[in-house]
Structure 1
Amino acid sequence: MTNAPIRVLQVVPSLNRSAGIARVVYNWNRFHDESRVHFDFLHHSSRNGILMHNERYDEELEATGSKVYTVNYAADDLRRFMREVHEVFEKVGFSYDIVHCHMPNSAFCVLREAELAGIKHRVLHSHLNNSSDKFLHRLRNVPLNAIGKHYATDRIACSEDAGHFLFGSQPFTVINNGIPLEQFAYSLESRERLRAELGIGHIDPVIGCVGRFVKQKNFPFAIRVFAKFHEAFPDGKMLILGDGDNRDELKKTIMTEHLSDAVILAGVREDINKLYSVMDVFFMPSLYEGLPVSAVEAQAAGLPCVYSDKVPKETDITGTGAFVSLDNGVEQWINVLTVALNGGRLMENPILLEQRGYSAKANAELLMQHYEQLIAER
């Protein structure tokens, strides 16, 4: 190995602050050693050259010395996406030792272009245990994922479940979605200050949801469950952090359930770590997941967590969560949420997460060692 840092191009769907993958790579960048590894980024969260998200990491990462390359959104025009990815690799591909692709259904293009550019180490990363919200998209993704895997020389997953989904019996390395645990620790000061800011009473029970407003997260279902919860707890509030294309649909569901005064759509905020202290229960009724970063964050804040049975069991790192089938009636969800609410905050969670390998600093170190091993084997 030379003294120069290993140069890695991280290929992600977006650098949207509400997206779990973006938060993962952002944490890697925060805790990596620049003398050993340098990160640049490529994403397709752009339409006709205009970035699609207002709250993003792009500028912050550029300010720390990373380059951020953007191409136009693949779903708008796949041929244009492929052409622009080709142009990026033709122009700068030679300067990278490793390409780390977090987009399995685009790897057929991204990793192929990396191979054509002479990049010997091409990492494919699995973050989910399903490939799409929509049946036709899942059908489309089967051949795309298969082709993409052909160009990968190394495989990483955020969980065993996500790894087996994408890679089957092929070997892969699990690297946890670590977070800066100390930043998510429960804070009474933050709880009181932010509850006052959001108009939430001191003892009002708060159910929290975090994530992009997409079908996968199943937020309209969460609203319908909360409507029944609200009947039992009239002072209850639901706090939803995030944004996305389905915002109008979600607002319509809130209005239909007559919950406009009880559901708070707080958007994408930089103080998300402090907002977990506002919540009393974390609620994730997702249709599928890999190992969601928000669930790790919620556990670090000591929140009791209620998940759908489509969320991998590995998500319950601290062994304190509850899983409910999406086929169960609303009353079952209410019962489980009520038990979680009455159980109170779990102050030992940060220690358990540290012990079980979910520190962002520790995981950045594992990733750097993984890269170093790849280069050493060349």
Structure 2
Amino acid sequence: MENKTLRVLQVVDSLGAGGIQAFILNINRNMHLDKIKFDYVVYKNKEETEFYDESVEKMGGEIICLEKNTGIKRLKSFMDLYRLQKDKKYSVVHIHGDRAKSFFEAVVFKICKTPTIIMHSHNDRISRDKRFYHLHLGIQNIIRSLWKYVVDYEFACSTNAAQWMFSKEDVRDEKAKVINNGIDEKKFIYNKNVREEYRRKLKLEDKFVLTHVGRFSYQKNHDFLIDIFNSVNKQYSNSVLLLIGEGELKEKIQDKVRSLNLEDKVIFYGLCNEIHNILQASDIFVFPSHYEGLPVVGIEVQAAALMAVASDAISNEIKITHYWKSLSLDSPPEEWAKIILKYKDGYSRKDTSEDIIKSGFSAMAISRNLENLYMNVDNNQKSGNK
């Protein structure tokens, strides 16, 4: 009898450009698609298109759109999720998130008697500017000890992300496992010719190019980033700041740029599917996030041998090459600028792909491990050994 392709359901807020989505798609691309295909639950209107929609469809995945609700109306979303699972009967469900909503999604799948439920924590806190922040924090503290009763596997992108989501006992006993955010390391190997080509394309041949990749949100701390760049520019006027991304705070940051008369120095590039080439063209990466799980772009930057000056709020697990420098957010913009300007005259950029592989951040290896897990739990379910 011919084996059917296993369809694994990935539950994620959206397929927009972001670190969680980049991780899942990197894994998806390295799966044996004749054995496993990923379907995706997202919360959006069917008519709305998102950054990774086309990539998912090319790999044979189905995008299942549920209505995006908040507050008490979210109960309707959970009911929609219940009906979906009752209809589709996925044997493996992989939930990605960073807060309590993911727990209630997991409860829905548990009620549906889903054979295998995986929870994957992708952040180490929630934003302080979130409405009812302390209420969310209180709920998080309660559910931390309840995951083991609802899910079969607890995953996290870093130790901090595991501690944020799961109980101390589960982290201590390694029931909560760290799954590295894998990348295609070969795609990012530093290439001088690509660098020159993209600097010409961007009309930045003679500039000192600072780059940031991330959503315009409180988490990414663009407000402080502009202060840093303003300090850099005052000391070295031949510098530019390249911002990749979109988000709810973009207009606010644009206003700040105008107020500092930096319009001709700050490039709002928007979304981009050529991050690997942009990183080649850049001179330094600035990453002053308030918090992170373990950002995929942080691994990509090091794979491109691009020096990063980043917030020490990011887990030290991300430092896998000497191209990563951490600095406190309590340090003034001038201190950040001083370190950044050390690199304005260039530095050696080498192939770091072996470092990425040895450190366990190759998407290929991580994909194989997840593929084996998915297939084994599915086979055990079929044979009644779960």
TM-score (norm 1): 0.91
- The superposition leaves residues 225-267 of structure 1 with CA deviations (integer Å, 9 ceiling, x where unpaired) of 1001001110101111111111111111111121111111111
8 Å CA contact 1:11–1:42 kept in 2: the answer is yes
Output the CA distance in 1 between the equivalents of 2:5 and 2:50: 30
Q: CA deviation at 1:348?
A: 3.8
Match of 2:198 in 1: 194
Output the CA distance in 1 between the equivalents of 2:20 and 2:376: 23
Q: Say which of 301, 304, 307 aligns to 2:307.
A: 304
Match of 1:33 in 2: 32
Distance 1:24 1:142, change over 3 A: farther
Moved over 3 A (4+): 2-6, 74-77, 144-148, 340-343, 372-377
Match of 1:139 in 2: 135
Match of 1:322 in 2: 325
Match of 1:56 in 2: 51
Match of 2:116 in 1: 121
Secondary structure of 2:82's counterpart equals helix
Q: Which runs of 5+ in 2 are unaligned?
A: none
Q: CA deviation at 1:343?
A: 6.0
- Structure 2: which amino acid aligns with 1:217? K
Q: CA deviation at 1:286?
A: 0.2
- Structure 2: which amino acid aligns with 1:23? A
- Structure 2: which amino acid aligns with 1:124? M
Secondary structure of 2:246's counterpart equals coil
8 Å CA contact 1:304–1:343 kept in 2: the answer is no
Q: Say which of 60, 65, 83 aligns to 1:65.
A: 60
Secondary structure of 1:169's counterpart equals helix
- The superposition leaves residues 118-167 of structure 1 with CA deviations (integer Å, 9 ceiling, x where unpaired) of 21211110111112342633531542574472422210111122112211
Q: Say which of 99, 115, 125 aligns to 1:130.
A: 125
Output the CA distance in 1 between the equivalents of 2:127 and 2:293: 12
Alignment of 1:215-254 (within 5 A): 215-254=218-257
Output the CA distance in 2 between the equivalents of 1:245 and 1:257: 21
- Structure 1: which amino acid aligns with 2:112? A
Match of 2:8 in 1: 8
Match of 2:298 in 1: 295
Distance 1:218 1:309, change over 3 A: same
Q: CA deviation at 1:50?
A: 4.1
Alignment of 1:272-291 (within 5 A): 272-291=275-294
Q: CA deviation at 1:196?
A: 2.4
- Structure 1: which amino acid aligns with 2:65? T
Q: CA deviation at 1:214?
A: 1.0
Number of equivalent positions: 369
Identity %: 28
Output the CA distance in 1 between the equivalents of 2:134 and 2:321: 32
Q: Within the alignment, does 1:79 sit opposite 2:75 as a pair?
A: yes
Q: CA deviation at 1:316?
A: 1.1
8 Å CA contact 2:12–2:41 kept in 1: the answer is yes
Q: Single out whichever of 337-346 and 217-226 deviates more from structure 2.
A: 337-346
Output the CA distance in 1 between the equivalents of 2:374 and 2:230: 48
8 Å CA contact 2:221–2:288 kept in 1: the answer is yes
Output the CA distance in 2 between the equivalents of 1:138 and 1:314: 28
- Structure 2: which amino acid aligns with 1:7? R
Alignment of 1:168-183 (within 5 A): 168-170=168-170, 171-183=175-187
Q: Within the alignment, does 1:367 sit opposite 2:343 as a pair?
A: no
Q: Single out whichever of 229-238 and 127-136 deviates more from structure 2.
A: 127-136
TM-score (norm 2): 0.89
Output the CA distance in 1 between the equivalents of 2:242 and 2:348: 17
Secondary structure of 1:102's counterpart equals strand
8 Å CA contact 2:140–2:165 kept in 1: the answer is no
Q: Single out whichever of 241-250 and 33-42 deviates more from structure 2.
A: 33-42
